Amino acid sequence: MKYLTLAVALLLVSCANDPISSEHVGKNDAFEVEYLFEKDGIKIYRFLDNGRYHYFTTGGTTMSTYQVNKQTYTEDIPHEANLPTGNN
**Residue 69 gets which letter from DSSP?**
T
Give the type of residue at 31: F
pLDDT of residue 87: 55
pTM to 2 decimal places: 0.64
The CA dihedral of 78, 31, 35, 51, to the nearest 10 degrees, is: -60
pLDDT tens string 5-45: 555 555 555 556 788 888 898 888 888 999 999 988 989 89
Tell me: pLDDT of 47 over 60: yes
All structural domains of the chain with their residue ranges = 2-80
